[in-house]
Amino acid sequence: MAPPLLSLDRIKLTFGGTPLLDGAQLIASAGEKIALVGRNGSGKSTLLKIAAGLVEAQDGEIFRQPSATIRYLHQEPDIEGYETVRAYVEAGLGPADDAYRAIYLIESLGLTGDENPRNLSGGEARRAALARVMAPEPDVLLLDEPTNHLDLSTIEWLEDELQRTKSALIMISHDRRFLERVSRATVWLDRGVTRKLDRGFAHFEEWRDQILEEEERDHHKLGRQIEREEHWLRYGVTARRKRNMRRLGELHSMRDRFRNHRGAEGVATLTAADSAESGKLVIEAKAISKSFGEREVVKEFSARIQRGDRVGFVGPNGAGKTTLLKMLIGELAPDSGVIRLGANLEIAALDQKRELDPAETLANYLTDGRGDSLIVNGEQKHVVSYMKDFLFKPEQARTPVRELSGGERARLVLARILSRPANLLVLDEPTNDLDMETLDLLQELVAGYAGTVLLVSHDRDFLDRTVTSIIAPDGEARWIEYAGGYTDMLAQRGGQKLIERGARKKDEAVRKEAPAATAPKPVTKLSFKQKFALENLPKQMAENEAKISKLEEKIADPAFYVRDPQGFAKVAAEIDGLRTKLTAMEEEWLELEMLREEIEG
């Protein structure tokens, strides 16, 4: 094995109380692509900053190969002090580095280089920072949430670029699909220590669950062993005093291990507050359009969103996702066309900016300053109890928001949104900064939500697991709805990915040379909508058959026609309609079952 470019061994760091890092290890050799994973607050970013030399460890050994170049991408890059983005990016180059690569990266990331850094959005600042750290082609590239604020087309470009790079990569990300595509090894930081899996992130969760199960079994065995030793000391046959003292010492040692065992981190409890049911029709849009100056963002868009729909909005940054969303919920008037909102709507919205008062405490934010309790699902709940559901500690109730990590802020905003009664959830980038365990729970909440969900996200895995349809732009201000999740949308587009209007010249040239039609990729798994139909169609068919049977009993009465000819005809027509519907359901179920067998076989 090649000598390491970077090595952290037995790293310790404590900010008072329980150690954040307690013997952590991180080693990167040339060409390695490592996913660094762990819960929010577990110390991933701190460990990466120690590797970059930005934070000093209290104990442990750190080796950086003297000739190796190391670049670190901050979660919140500081790009002030430069006149242009190009100047900022080129400042990261060394004397022997290629200046043309900096220009290539700037353009590939959708920037011109002439932008004023002070006027950049969050997504643009992240693109500029990525160009700066990638331009020198460093020996070691440390990336902290590189996909945050990036649109899907840029994330997919970044995946391809990182797969080709010769740099050693250590990446922190909540984007499952990004880690699955790029990583070749996984380091799990848990309760201050690290474990390494020499396989990519796709194999991580199964491996982690096995470790936790073994740990739970070992902890249980230790408890039983302590019971046996205590029984021996109390009731066993008296042996030599020296032997008794040895066993007593071992018992004390076992008790200490049992008492000081740090169990796996808790799991958040995400539950949306109940509300009265909305009308069947939630939103109807007829030929709505919106322009800002000469730039047309939405052109003659029409849609009907009904109760129970979960609609995902995808597209490049600046394409108009948030604009379209605001028009649909009545926050922004269209230039032309009509928006009709359904009856009895109660909306709870999560803004992607998540602007919080840094001086406000967690308890005050959750209760709107109304004491120490809040109403959730019609019941009064103490704010500390509610905070525990979202993995906050009781002592954090009076903590100012400014002291929270990015992931903790994301959980705090979710906690507030989900405490409000609603039947229409509007979630703009809800997955940013959430750890994967919380993402799993949010996914379950959205997928099982009884009301309606409008969701803007760049997380492809999350979209595939939650939404029933996708609305995406065609690049010319027209928005099209596709059934199913993100993978289903790609299949319906013939594999064509999302391309920004006026996109990069290289992509434009590729499209011109490409054939007019592309064969769709083979289906490798059922979509969420197909799985749902496969599971629920048998129940619906049984209900249909019961209705038909009941009506046939009614129509079998010889006196029914004589007594009520019109009623007889109406029931007969209803039976025919139900049989037609049953046949269609049976055909759909049969097709899905055959597709499932084909995929599994």
Which DSSP symbol is given to 261? -
Flag whether 115 is in a domain. Answer: yes
Beta bridge partners of 446: none
> CB of 411 within 8 A of CB of 390?
yes
- Name the domain boundary from 206, 223, 254: 206
Same domain, 293 and 158: no
Q: Which residue type is seen at 233?
A: L
Q: What would the DSSP string read from start to end of 6-37?
A: EEEEEEEE-SSSS-SEEEEEEEE-TT-EEEEE
Task: Tell me which residue of 328, 331, 330, 334 sits closest to 297, measured CA to CA.
Answer: 334
503-533: pLDDT as tens digits? 444 343 433 343 443 444 455 677 766 777 7
Per-residue pLDDT for 395 more than 80? yes
Same domain, 564 and 477: no
Q: Half-sphere exposure of 80 toward its Cβ, with a 13 Å CA cutoff?
A: 3
Same domain, 349 and 309: yes
Same domain, 386 and 297: yes
pLDDT-based confidence at residue 241 (cuts at 50, 70, 90): very low
Considering only 277-281, 331-335, 560-564, which range has the smallest mean pLDDT?
A: 560-564
- Name the domain boundary from 188, 206, 224: 206
> CB of 201 within 8 A of CB of 37?
yes
- CATH number, position 92: 3.40.50.300
Residue 201 tokens read as: 């992130």
Flag whether 234 is in a domain. Answer: no
Flag whether 16 is in a domain. Answer: yes
Residue 296 tokens read as: 């047309």
- Name every residue whose Cβ is closer than 8 Å to that of residue 517 and which is 6 or more positions away in sequence: 494
Q: Give the separation between CA 197 and CA 321, rounded to whole angstroms.
A: 38
Flag whether 236 is in a domain. Answer: no
> CB of 527 within 8 A of CB of 490?
no
Same domain, 508 and 536: no
**3-class secondary structure, 392:** coil
For the CA atoms of 69, 73, 78, 80, the dihedral, rounded to the nearest 10 degrees, stands at 60
- CATH number, position 551: 1.10.287
Flag whether 583 is in a domain. Answer: yes
Same domain, 434 and 577: no
**3-class secondary structure, 527:** coil
Same domain, 428 and 487: yes
Q: Give the separation between CA 541 and CA 545, rounded to whole angstroms.
A: 6
Same domain, 374 and 486: yes
* Kind and range of the H or E run holding 64: strand 59-64
Q: Where are the alpha helices (DSSP H) in 493-564?
A: 505-513, 528-555, 558-563
> By residue range, what is the domain housing residue 91?
6-206
Same domain, 297 and 186: no
Q: What would the DSSP string read from start to end of 422-457?
A: -SEEEEESTTTT--HHHHHHHHHHHHT-SSEEEEE-
Flag whether 240 is in a domain. Answer: no
Same domain, 159 and 299: no
Same domain, 322 and 469: yes
Sheet-wide strand order for 193-197: 70-73, 140-144, 168-172, 33-37, 185-190, 193-197
Residue 506 confidence (pLDDT): 39
Q: What would the DSSP string read from start to end of 263-332?
A: PPPP-----PPP-PPPPSEEEEEEEEEEEETTEEEEEEEEEEEETT-EEEE---TTSSHHHHHHHHTTSS
Q: Give the separation between CA 319 and CA 297, rounded to whole angstroms.
A: 7
> CB of 509 within 8 A of CB of 564?
no
Flag whether 235 is in a domain. Answer: no
pLDDT-based confidence at residue 1 (cuts at 50, 70, 90): low
Residue 397 tokens read as: 């109730």
Note the pTM of the prediction, 2 decimals. 0.67
Percentage of the chain lying above the pLDDT 90 cut: 33
Q: Give the separation between CA 188 and CA 196, rounded to whole angstroms.
A: 6
- Name the domain boundary from 206, 225, 242: 206
Task: Tell me which residue of 296, 379, 284 sits closest to 335, measured CA to CA.
Answer: 296
Q: Give the separation between CA 592 and CA 526, rounded to whole angstroms.
A: 9
Q: Give the separation between CA 438 and CA 444, rounded to whole angstroms.
A: 10
pLDDT-based confidence at residue 57 (cuts at 50, 70, 90): very high
pLDDT-based confidence at residue 320 (cuts at 50, 70, 90): confident
Residue 315 tokens read as: 């597209």
Q: Half-sphere exposure of 31 toward its Cβ, with a 13 Å CA cutoff?
A: 4
pLDDT-based confidence at residue 52 (cuts at 50, 70, 90): very high
Per-residue pLDDT for 582 more than 50? yes
> CB of 380 within 8 A of CB of 387?
no
Backbone φ and ψ for 51, nearest 5 degrees, come out as -60, -35
Q: What would the DSSP string read from start to end of 190-231?
A: ETTEEEEESS-GGGHHHHHHHHHHHHHHHHHHHHHHHHHHHH
Same domain, 493 and 572: no
415-473: pLDDT as tens digits? 888 888 888 989 888 887 777 777 887 888 888 888 899 999 888 988 998 999 999 99
Per-residue pLDDT for 280 more than 80? yes
489: buried, middle or exposed (CB in 10 Å: 19+, 13-18, 0-12)? Answer: buried
Q: Give the separation between CA 337 and CA 302, rounded to whole angstroms.
A: 9
Name the pairing type of β-strands 6-13 and 59-64: antiparallel
Domain count for the chain: 3
Locus of tokens 């080129």: 90
> CB of 211 within 8 A of CB of 195?
yes
Q: Give the separation between CA 537 and CA 546, rounded to whole angstroms.
A: 14
327-378: pLDDT as tens digits? 999 999 999 999 999 888 888 887 766 667 888 888 888 888 888 888 877 7
Flag whether 1 is in a domain. Answer: no
Task: Tell me which residue of 319, 340, 309, 318 sits closest to 455, measured CA to CA.
Answer: 309
